[in-house]
Amino acid sequence: MRFSEFSFYSPIKDCECVRLSVFDSHGQEFFMILERPEGKLWREERNRALDDIALAIKSGCRPGEVRVI
């Protein structure tokens, strides 16, 4: 799956964050904003988020921010 990753500092969360974006076959964006953990934990967290985004796309959810409870 192709995705884009944009890192930024969030003054609201007071930490480094990452916006992960995936576009479906219609060009609509699905994204998640995550706090970026240090080191090896980031890869696991990113893969989990990308799996959640893929599930949202497959399930026919509306484009936009994907939130997991």
Provide the pLDDT for residue 47: 94
Residue 68 to residue 37: CA distance in whole angstroms: 18
Beta bridge partners of 9: 16
Provide the pLDDT for residue 61: 95
Taking Cα atoms as reference points, which of 27, 33, 23 lies closest to residue 3?
Answer: 23
Task: Give me the domain span that covers residue 9.
Answer: 4-65
Statement: the pTM of the whole predicted model exceeds 0.85 = yes
Widest pairwise Cα distance in the chain: 35
High-pLDDT (> 70) share of the chain, %:
100
The domain tally of the chain equals: 1
